[in-house]
Structure 1
Amino acid sequence: MPDTFTASTNALREKLTSGSPVFGTFCSIPHVTSAEALGGAGFDFVLVDAQHGAPTFDTLVQLIPAIQLGGAPSLIRLPWNDPALAMRALDLGAAGVVVPLISTRQDAERAATACRYPPSGIRSFGQVRGLSYGSTAATNDEVLCIAMIETAEGLENADAIASTPGVDGIFIGPVDLALSMGLPVDFTLSDPRLKEAMTAILEAGQRHDCPVGMPLFGIGMASGAIEAGYRFMTAGGDGGYIRMGAMGDITKLREIADGENR
């Protein structure tokens, strides 16, 4: 296996355990050029969205090394809590996986054991270009398994999920959580009931020394999230950055054109 695919430690894990805020962004476009640009933008990680984004497992073998070439590690948001998908993502070089819809301790155990080699888990050995940390035991210690809590049932079981061995962090899915609670979609996250639920998950993570993260729907949310104690956050994504940049320029160009015509 080429030396470029080996590492002594998982740099993202080190950052998460340092206590400082960690920032990532979403990769939803399955193209190596945009993936490399995201990897080189300075984020602590790039979250490849194989659940709701356009990337598929056929494209991960190109996207993961492109992001690494930019200088950032990759996390893969899986489409489902499927051990085969978790193992595949790690074999292809991801630093860890984000597993959606974790609602019970059993769900969390299923995800965590898929990410670890025996005796800690059920991961099958057969790396294609996966990161190796010197031994299967060392790899078990370095890989990241992030559980998404995004249902009312997951909220009720937050302590059980956060305390599950092998769960290295919790990522709150606030939109699906709100829907599961019977609340409307609101990207401001301002509903008191949703805020209370997110705080309960955050406090469960803190009780079990399990870092908790959330998406930022706007940079203005960052200060409050950091102050509250969230340890990792995502900001934006490739599609949104392209759209916002293009819209910003065309708006200015129209204003200039209108001014010239007066």
Structure 2
Amino acid sequence: MSTFREALAGAQAPLVGLWNASGSAVAAEIMAGSGADLLLVDGEHGPITVSELLPILHAAAAYPVTTLVRVPWNDPVIIKQVLDLGAQNLLVPMVSTADDARAAVRAARYPGGPGEREGTRGIGSALARSSRWGRIAGYVQGADSHVSVTVQIETADAVANAAEIAAVEGVDAVFIGPTDLAGSMGFPGRPSEQAVVDAVDAAIDAVRAAGKPVGVNTFAEADADRCIARGAAFVFVAADVTLMARGSEAAVARLKQARTEADSY
């Protein structure tokens, strides 16, 4: 399967993504079949264990969508497990410094020979889906070509360090999370505050100046339009759980309101 790095390089327009936050393989398949370019499986806030991730990857694999997995933390053990399971595209949250970004890249890479790349990923590919249980010839030597690493900027410190984070070798893209960024700036639950919007725009500019693709989580249409106009290479525009929540509310709201009005006569 093509990596997120390759999808970005070959894109003729900004890529559009959806979240699978429910942990449901059925929901993942519905999202993957929607025409979206990207599917982001949320292992940070979603109720998804490593073993529960596998049927989600199976469900998405049947569709022309690039699947990313957000790990719970910048933890080499979790990253190793998720990669061995066959996830190719990692999203690592709460990366606030260049050192954080380098740690994520090292965790996603196998050790190299003397003078070659640094890596700490444990070599168990013959036992893992990532190499199709040893059926991909030379998987360990060529694993970097099968894996992409995206890091998530979502703190004020990360915005200040955005250029240095983006410049880290092995970081393929940077993703901005306005909600946690708002919290770190003293505006919890208020990502539309102008100071937060300005910080997002500054991070977009810094990452692009460093020569890396940048994306933003934008559930509001106006935010997506603004970020794309500023140069975002990808945006995520909705999640399965929010679509179900808002859609189910809208489905019953009209008739409930009509019933209420009728009862008032």
The runs of 5 or more residues in structure 1 that have no matched partner are 1-6
Quick check: 16-25 or 82-91, which moved more?
Answer: 16-25
- Runs of 4+ off more than 4 Å: 131-134, 255-262
Q: Which structure 2 segments of 5+ residues have no match?
A: none
Which amino acid letter does the alignment assign opposite residue 196 of structure 2? L
Matched residue, 1:129? 129
Contact 2:150-2:173 at 8 Å conserved across structures:
yes
For residue 230 of structure 1, report the CA deviation from its aligned partner.
Answer: 0.8
Q: Secondary structure at the match of 1:130?
A: helix
**Structure-1 separation of matches of 2:262 and 2:189:** 42
Contact 2:37 2:64 in 1 (8 A): no
Contact 1:37 1:70 in 2 (8 A): no
Distance 1:245 1:134, change over 3 A: farther
1:67 aligns with 2:60: yes
* 1:108 partnered with 2:101: yes
Give the 3 Å change call, closer, same or farther, for CA 77–111 of structure 1 in structure 2: same
- What is the distance in 1 between the residues matched to 2:85 and 2:66? 12
- Cα deviation for residue 259 of structure 1 reads 8.1
**Kept after mapping to 2: 8 A contact 1:65/1:93:** no
- Do the aligned residues in 2 keep the contact of 1:24 with 1:235 (CA within 8 Å)? yes
Match of 2:201 among 199, 202, 220: 199
- TM-score, normalised by the number of residues in structure 2: 0.86
User: How has the CA–CA distance of structure 1 residues 206 and 259 changed in structure 2, closer, same or farther, with 3 Å as cutoff?
Assistant: same
The percent identity for this pair of structures is: 33
Aligned length: 252
Contact between 2:180 and 2:188, CA under 8 Å: does it hold in 1?
no
Deviation at 1:235? 1.4
Q: TM-score, normalised by structure 1?
A: 0.87
Aligned to 2:227: 225
CA contact (8 A) 1:151 1:176 kept: yes
Deviations 1:114-149 (A, max 9, x none): 112232322223242226776434430342111111
What one-letter code is carried by the residue in structure 2 that aligns with 1:129?
R
The CA distance in 1 between the partners of 2:237 and 2:175, in whole Å, is 13
Structure 1 stretch displaced more, 30-39 or 96-105:
30-39
